[in-house]
Each structure stands twice: as structure tokens, then as C-alpha cells.
């Protein structure tokens, strides 16, 4: 083993920074294996968008869990419905109880909330909102099963033979599978069947009220030429990405499946795209095989859950892991990110040299609730805030002015209670700088209850901005 590490050190010293980054990627896989895991090579694919020629591929026909890149097909079916005149971008869609019950990442709107198809699509692509996927499915297809059936019919029509869908958002389901090849086929179809909608796939951020949501695709406005498409993550899939980039008259599609972290996913895609843009590839591209030449390997998808979300980790990996890959102590916050950091994918080394802080390609896109000609306040989409009054002891002067269970008198506001609480405990409305809706006065209690002299605190609702991964089912 010492000899192996000495050899690795000599290799890193001998290769260029770009190749060194690739070596670090391999080192990340070695670290996972050293911990007792055995991970097969994850699929990788690089394709010319206009010709479909394959510039590089590894296990591109291998089945894999798609996670949120599923939403690319959800968008395709919705855009096709608009093209056929079955629905318009201004059509109002309604959040159903089923949609509201979806696990994060989500917007967190309450059932009955209405918004246009256009806004739902933007929230789907930027926030990767699982609830919006169901809203779109029910609004376009009439029901989620009918929409999923259309997704599978579309996959068959496009030639995506290794793909099957059971839901429109990519949440864990052992029967929901795809391949890197099929995802490249879908990406090409989106580019050339709906060229007028190319902006939808490269929105860097959106604004709802006072809150700005950043796109999880960290190539946008960081990698020169990046212009879409979609990220995805569940524990069993690892970190997935379908990305496109254009320089001059050359457009490339990169597919990364099963990366160990969001940072690794972004940097690996950047290196793959950069390789495809090199002049040397133009000489051999005409002889490259096409997507049609890649055969499905069949078999069961690799379950990445033990390596991404297993072991002794105290925190689940999450889609926005690259926002806080390092804590205050400067150490990685999860096993997956530790492996990625040890391999060089930290965002602060030569592996990230291809990524820059580019000028914004566009300002945050405004989204709203309600119809196009009469938008509603954002707070109307979230559940009303509930307040529990604090009962007072009989004769307790300190509790004067505090609500009691016997009277049901609501307390008077005492400063900004939200400002005194950590951000993690704030409700959606408070995070937007909006005043919560008052709750109805409670019914009088039969007997005085013991109370605290502290002022009452509102009961907060689940945060629609929660990006942490949900607890996984077997195979999901």
C-alpha cells in the first residue's frame, strides 16, 4: 500500500493540472473502495449536440437512477403539450394535496395555490421543486398516472430504450431508471425540438418576493459557454448532471452520473466539456461513433446509497452540498464530500481552475403566484402561521399582557420575534421579510394552566427551501 501511494504522488507531480484533476477523481473512487465499498465505474458521456457523435463515453448504456434529471422529460412533455395547443404558458395550475406532500426539494406551497405553467416550469428547473413536478403533471396530463404514461410513450418515441418513469420528479423509486445515452438523446431533443425555450434551461437564479433561489447547476455563469441543463440527486443515484455548453458554432452535451458530491459533479463536467472543445477533437470527430451505436447493458442499477449516504455519516448528502461543503472548521461535512475533497474537488485547487466567477448572464428571473394579469402576494401561497398563546398563573403579574388559556386574549407584539431566532427556525414568510398571517384566537380552556412569563413564539411550518435529501427507501 505505501508503494501505491508513492506511485500516485509521482503521477500527480508528472501530469498537467487538468490531468491531475482527473487523477484526483480516480483517487476519490479509491477512497470509497478503501472504506470497504466496491463501486463500479460511474457512467460518463460527451456528445456533439448537432451530430450526435460520441466524443467520450464510459458505461453510457448502463442503467442508473435518474433522480431529478427526470424533470427534463417532465419539461419535454409539458412543452410538447403547449406546442400542440393542449395548454398554454399562462394556464393556471393548482397545487393538489398530493403535490404539497412531496418531499424536498420543493417550493412548499399549500394546497389550493394557483400559478401559471410558465412559473411552475421555472421553479422546476431552478429550484428543482418536486412539488412543481406533480403540479405540472396533474395540470398537463389531468392526473399524475396519465402524465407518467405520456412520459414513457415519449421516451419510447425518442428511442430512449433504457429508460422507464414511475413519477415526474425523480424521487426514489426502484423502477425509475435511465442511461447516460438516453439522457443525451433527451437533451438533443429538447435543444432541437424547442429551440425557442432555450432560456428555460440556463436561468441562473429566480426571485419570488424578496427571496432569490440559485440554480443548482453551478456551471451556469461559472464555466465559459455553459447554457443548461439539469442536476439531480438522491442517495441511490449519487450526484447526476446533464450539461450543455456552446463555444462558437460547437455545442456539446455532457452527462455525469453517480458523482460523489455536487462539487465533483460540477468540476468533472467542466473538465469533460473542456476536453471536447480542444481543437484536437475536431480532427477525429468525423470518425467518432454516434449515440445509436451505444447499446444498453441491462442489469440492475448500481445503488450508490451505501457510499453517498451510508456509513457513520451524521448528515445526509444534499443537492446544494457545494454551498456548504466546508464548515466553519474547514473540514468536509460528510463522508462523500470528504472523499471528494481528498481527491481535490474542493473548489480551491487546480481541479476547479476551469470554473470562474463570470458576469451574470441575466438578472434573477421574477416568478409569482396567481394569474399573469393579477399576481398574488407570495405569502398567500404558504400555510398560515399558527400562534400558541401562553397561559399565565393566577396572580402572576409578570404575565400581564400575555395571552392566557382562560381568556384567549392574543398577546401584543413585543418587538421582532423573528429577528431573535436563528435563520434555520424561521418560516417561509419570515425569510421573505413578510408578516405572518394572524391565527384565529384559541378557544377558552376549562382551567387555568401553568404558564411561562416568556412571550409566545409562533409555530413555524416546514421550510420550502429545505434542500436536504429525504430519507431513502430501499433501492431509492
- Residue 109: C-alpha distances to residues 123, 161, 218, 366, 437 (Å): 12, 35, 26, 17, 15
Q: Is the dihedral of CA 75, 81, 84, 87 positive or negative?
A: negative
- Residue 80: C-alpha distances to residues 86, 150, 154, 155, 193 (Å): 9, 11, 10, 13, 9
CA-CA distance, 308 to 212, in Å (whole number)?
Answer: 28
CA-CA distance, 339 to 137, in Å (whole number)?
Answer: 37
CA-CA distance, 378 to 431, in Å (whole number)?
Answer: 11
CA-CA distance, 428 to 127, in Å (whole number)?
Answer: 15
Cβ-based neighbour number of residue 113 at 10 Å: 22
Q: Please indicate whether residue 128 is annotated as part of the active site.
A: yes
* DSSP character at residue 255: E
**Backbone phi and psi for residue 458, each to the nearest 5 degrees, phi listed first:** -70, 150
3-state secondary structure of 348: coil
3-state secondary structure of 72: helix
HSE-CB of 359 using CA atoms within 13 angstroms:
0
Q: Please indicate whether residue 329 is annotated as part of the active site.
A: no
User: If we measure between CA atoms, which residue out of 114, 186, 124 comes closest to residue 154?
Assistant: 186
Q: Which of 27, 68, 318, 346 is catalytic?
A: 68
Q: Which residue has the cell 455536487?
A: 262
Q: Please indicate whether residue 236 is annotated as part of the active site.
A: no
Question: For the chain, how many residues are written?
Answer: 476
Question: For the purposes of burial, counting CB atoms within 10 Å of the CB of 465, is it exposed (0-12), middle (13-18) or buried (19 or more)?
Answer: middle
Q: Which of 71, 106, 305, 387 is catalytic?
A: 71
**Backbone phi and psi for residue 241, each to the nearest 5 degrees, phi listed first:** -160, 130
**Backbone phi and psi for residue 474, each to the nearest 5 degrees, phi listed first:** -55, 130
* Angle formed at CA 407 by CA 402 and CA 411, multiple of 5 degrees: 25
Q: Which of 105, 128, 346, 429 is catalytic?
A: 128
Q: Does the bond joining 229 to the residue before it have cis omega, within 30 degrees of 0?
A: yes
Q: Which residue has the cell 452527462?
A: 255
Residues annotated as catalytic (active site), given as ranges? 68, 71, 128
Amino acid at each position: 500500500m505505501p508503494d501505491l501511494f508513492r506511485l500516485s504522488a509521482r503521477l500527480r507531480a508528472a501530469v498537467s493540472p487538468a490531468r491531475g484533476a482527473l487523477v484526483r477523481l480516480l483517487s476519490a473512487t479509491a477512497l470509497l473502495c478503501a472504506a470497504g465499498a466496491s463501486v463500479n465505474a460511474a457512467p460518463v458521456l460527451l456528445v456533439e449536440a448537432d451530430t450526435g457523435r460520441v466524443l467520450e463515453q464510459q458505461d453510457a448504456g448502463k442503467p442508473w437512477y435518474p433522480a431529478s434529471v427526470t424533470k427534463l422529460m417532465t419539461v419535454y412533455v409539458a412543452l410538447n403539450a403547449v406546442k400542440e395547443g393542449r395548454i398554454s404558458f399562462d394556464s393556471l395550475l393548482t397545487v393538489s394535496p398530493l403535490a404539497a406532500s412531496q418531499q424536498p426539494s420543493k417550493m412548499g406551497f399549500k394546497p389550493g395555490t394557483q400559478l401559471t405553467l410558465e412559473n411552475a416550469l421555472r421553479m422546476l428547473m431552478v429550484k428543482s421543486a418536486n412539488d412543481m413536478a406533480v403540479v405540472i403533471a396533474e395540470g398537463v396530463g389531468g392526473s399524475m398516472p396519465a402524465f407518467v404514461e405520456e412520459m414513457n410513450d415519449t421516451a419510447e418515441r425518442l428511442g430512449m430504450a433504457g429508460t422507464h418513469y414511475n413519477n415526474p420528479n425523480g424521487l426514489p423509486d426502484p423502477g425509475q431508471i435511465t442511461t447516460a445515452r438516453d439522457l443525451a438523446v433527451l437533451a438533443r431533443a429538447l435543444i432541437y425540438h424547442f429551440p425557442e425555450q432555450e432560456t428555460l434551461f440556463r436561468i441562473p437564479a429566480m426571485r419570488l418576493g424578496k427571496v432569490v433561489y440559485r440554480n443548482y447547476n453551478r456551471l451556469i455563469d461559472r464555466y465559459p459557454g455553459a447554457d443548461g441543463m439539469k442536476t439531480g440527486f438522491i442517495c441511490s443515484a449519487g450526484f447526476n448532471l446533464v450539461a450543455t455548453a456552446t463555444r462558437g458554432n460547437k455545442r456539446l452535451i455532457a452527462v455525469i452520473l453517480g458523482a460523489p458530491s455536487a462539487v465533483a459533479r460540477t468540476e468533472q463536467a467542466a473538465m469533460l466539456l473542456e476536453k471536447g472543445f480542444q481543437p484536437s477533437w475536431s480532427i477525429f470527430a468525423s470518425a467518432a461513433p454516434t449515440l445509436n451505436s451505444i447499446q444498453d447493458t441491462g442489469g440492475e442499477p448500481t445503488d450508490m446509497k451505501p457510499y453517498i449516504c451510508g456509513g457513520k455519516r451524521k448528515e445526509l448528502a444534499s443537492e446544494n452540498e457545494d454551498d456548504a461543503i466546508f464548515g466553519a472548521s474547514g473540514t468536509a461535512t460528510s463522508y462523500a464530500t470528504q472523499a471528494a475533497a481528498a481527491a481535490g474537488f474542493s473548489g480551491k485547487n487546480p481541479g476547479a481552475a476551469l470554473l470562474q466567477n463570470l458576469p451574470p448572464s441575466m438578472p434573477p428571473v421574477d416568478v409569482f403566484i396567481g394569474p399573469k394579469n393579477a399576481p398574488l402576494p407570495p405569502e398567500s401561497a404558504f400555510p398560515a402561521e399558527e400562534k400558541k398563546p401562553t397561559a399565565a398563573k393566577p396572580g402572576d403579574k409578570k404575565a400581564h399582557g400575555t395571552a392566557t388559556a382562560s381568556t384567549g386574549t392574543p398577546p401584543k407584539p413585543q418587538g421582532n420575534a423573528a429577528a431573535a431566532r436563528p435563520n434555520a427556525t424561521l418560516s417561509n414568510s419570515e425569510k421573505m421579510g413578510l408578516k405572518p398571517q394572524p391565527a384565529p384566537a384559541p378557544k377558552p380552556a376549562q382551567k387555568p394552566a401553568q404558564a411561562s412569563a416568556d412571550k409566545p413564539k409562533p409555530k413555524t411550518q416546514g421550510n420550502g427551501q429545505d434542500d436536504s435529501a429525504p430519507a431513502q427507501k430501499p433501492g431509492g
